[in-house]
Every structure is written in structure tokens, then in C-alpha cells.
């Protein structure tokens, strides 16, 4: 992702991968997921972020998940 200057957000990748698997479990979907991931990173929500923002975005995501889990308890 560094080469394409987009952040690496594993939860976004996994979501796209799961959707591709559900659509066609027999197909190896890595190329499809890669293209969809790059496209998603160009959308409004992510287009202002770059590879250098990866760590900060992951920290923010982890904090939000922790808060969500606390709220459920």
C-alpha cells in the first residue's frame, strides 16, 4: 500500500475480502479485493489519507472499538 500511498486498514481489507468470498467462495479473490480496496481508499472518507497516516488511523480505530466494547458491557 505504501507504493500506492494509501493507508493500510486491515478491517477495510477484511470486509472487502469477506464480501468477495460470500459472492464466490470458489474463486481466489486477492486481485479483486486489491482493486476494490484501492478504489475505496480513493473515496471521500479516505482520499485525504496517505500511507503515512496508517498508524494514526489504526490507533483511532482501536480506540473506537475499545469504546464500543465498553459501551456494550
* Spatial contact of 49 and 7, defined as CB atoms under 8 Å apart: yes
* Spatial contact of 6 and 45, defined as CB atoms under 8 Å apart: no
Q: Does 40 fall in a domain?
A: yes
What pLDDT score does 26 carry?
A: 84
Q: Does 41 fall in a domain?
A: yes
Q: Does 1 fall in a domain?
A: no
Cα separation, 46 vs 28, whole angstroms: 26
Q: What is the pLDDT of residues 16-67, one digit of tens each?
A: 999 998 988 888 777 889 999 999 999 999 999 999 999 999 999 999 999 9
* Spatial contact of 61 and 9, defined as CB atoms under 8 Å apart: yes
Q: Does 5 fall in a domain?
A: no
- How many separate domains does the chain show? 1
Residues 9-15, mean pLDDT to the nearest whole number: 96
Residue 70 pLDDT grade (very low, low, confident, very high; cuts 50, 70, 90): confident
* Spatial contact of 30 and 38, defined as CB atoms under 8 Å apart: no
Give the domain extent around 21.
10-72
Amino acid at each position: 500500500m505504501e507504493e500506492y500511498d494509501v493507508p493500510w486498514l486491515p478491517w477495510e481489507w477484511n470486509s472487502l475480502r469477506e464480501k468477495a468470498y460470500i459472492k464466490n467462495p470458489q474463486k481466489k479473490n486477492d486481485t479483486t479485493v486489491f482493486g476494490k480496496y484501492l478504489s475505496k481508499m480513493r473515496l471521500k472518507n479516505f482520499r485525504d489519507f496517505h500511507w503515512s497516516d496508517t498508524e494514526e488511523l489504526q490507533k483511532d480505530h482501536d480506540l473506537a472499538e475499545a469504546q464500543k466494547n465498553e459501551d456494550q458491557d
